[in-house]
Every structure is written in structure tokens, then in C-alpha cells.
Amino acid sequence: MPRYVTFSYSDNLPRNINIQLPEELKISGSRDPEILIILRLLSGNIELTHTYSNTIIKSRINYFSGDFTRFRNWKREFPVLFSEDTTATDIAVFIENTKYVNRSFYAAILSEISQFILHTKRGAHTSAFIYIYRILEKISYAFPLIYASKTQDFLRSFGQLKELMVGDSEKKELGFFKAFIQMLYRGDSISDTSIDIAFSTTNSDVGEQMFKSIRETVGNAVIHEDTSEFDTLSVKYCEMSSFIINIRNRFFHNLNGGATNIESDRIVDSDELFSFINPMAMHWLSMVFLQVTAYSLSEFQTHRRNAAV
């Protein structure tokens, strides 16, 4: 019995932009590379259909933007997120030549992102957070290995993995990934910035209570100095994975042993709370995905140039 197809995808770019794209970057709806669908879905220009419920979602949210601003011209604006001189053709060539690499991994990530978007559309933000965490779990070992495997210098690859694998007892649950994030953004000014979660409640007392509950739960180590009391919780960019893990542990697992948990009566409405957290968490995951993909593209281009010599 063939597997039930949970989601289908179709192109949702304006026609005047779509016709400019290389064919390899268009969504045909038939055997499109999963990595392409992910990039397009996170860009906010794919129509997503949940087959079982016949729910159609015209994805409009650009998770590659901190304020979710839509691309005016995806062909021109998206490639420069990789580098200033990257073109749509460069991305098309890369995807065409690597579309079968790690395909099952990207298919799994695509499914989690699609479920996140579906539950967000339904307003089930508490449930949607589960898929945020599932994505984090899936990429926690895969991304460091993908990153290292793309390096053409074997000794450099070995050195990168060795750096991630040695450490103290803190490197346990997703610690490998946290070390990778610190390595990935080393020397990058973005590592000094923050992911800002705004508590935009209609009731200021509720907003303050939510803010305090989350801040007390995650601890000072992940909090950025840009935090504005009771309005905006700023998380250090490279500590976002720790933030997500803490939220998962203290709300869904409700761990005992003296740890501060997120109590239901303090957050008032969990769906509203996660409606503030989820978009910024997905933005951060999207940017990590982009960073790893950009590195893979760069190494692919270097390898092709060297092979041509």
C-alpha cells in the first residue's frame, strides 16, 4: 500500500516573477527537490495543501526576515541572502546537482515545517511549537555533519568535528548542536545580536505575567541586554537552541527536582504565549538552515571550479 500523501505543494509566486525564474527553482508539484520546497516555503511563496483536511494555505510569511517582510522580487532578493554575488542561476545549478543528496533528511524537515504552518494556520500555536522542537532535534546532528562533509579539506573537516565532540559534561542534550552554532557564527557580527520576542497581549497584566514566567524559566544566561522588561524578551542569537529546549522541558515535560516550570495558571493562554514565541523560533531555525545551505553552495562552487582546472 503506497504511503498517504499528507501535503502537496504548488507555486504561489506572482506570474511576472515566476516566469523569470530558472526552471530548477520553480515548483511543478511533481517530484520537486525537498530542499527547494523548503527554501520556497520558508520564503512565503508556496501554496500548501493538507490532503486529509483539504486545507489550502497560501504561505505569505517570509521566515528569512526578522520582521517577516515579504520579498518583492524573490528572484533578485533571495539569492543575496547567500552572498552579495550569488544569483538565482547559481542556486538553480546547485539544487539541480545536489537534489538527491540527503533527500530523506530534507523530506523529514519539510514535513515538520508543513505541520508547523498547518497548526499555526489553525491557531493551535501550542501544538505548532512541538514541530519547532522536532525540527531542532532533527537538525541537531545532521547539520553539523552536513556542514563538515561539504568541506573539501579533510583535515579541516576532522578538526571541525573534533572541536564539536570534545567538551565537558554540559554537551549532552543537543549540546553538540549548540557547539556547532557557536562555531558556525564565530566572527560573525550576528552572534552579538538577539532574537526578540514581543509579548503583544491586549492585557498588560497578562503580558507582564507571561514575560516574567518565561524569563524566570529560561535563566539569565540566554537573555540579551536588549531585553525590555515585560514587553520584549531578547534571547542571545547563539543561545536560541537553549531557549527552545528550556521551553520544551519546562512546559511540556514539567520537570521536577527544584527546577522552575512554566505553570499553566501564570501563562493564562498557552496558544497566545506560543503565538509570540513560535514565529521568532522559526525565523532563527530558517536562518540556520540558510547558513548551512549557503556554506554547502559555496563549497559546491569551489569544488566545481577546482575540477575545471
Spans of all domains in the chain: 1-122, 190-279
Quote the Cα angle for 267-125-250, to 5°.
45
Q: What residues in the chain have per-residue pLDDT under 50? A: 154, 169-171, 173
pLDDT of residue 116: 99
pLDDT value at residue 163? 62
Which three cell numbers, joined as nine digits, stand for 17?
A: 516573477
pLDDT for the residue numbered 2: 80
> 192: Cβ–Cβ under 8 A, 6 or more apart, which residues?
237
- Furthest-apart CA atoms within the chain: distance in Å: 66
Q: Which pLDDT does position 160 carry in this prediction?
A: 59
pTM above 0.85, yes or no: yes
Cβ contact 133:163 at 8 Å? no
> Are 231 and 243 contacting, i.e. CB atoms less than 8 angstroms apart?
no
**Of 201, 214, 223, 203, which Cα lies nearest the Cα of 275?**
201
pLDDT at 142: 86
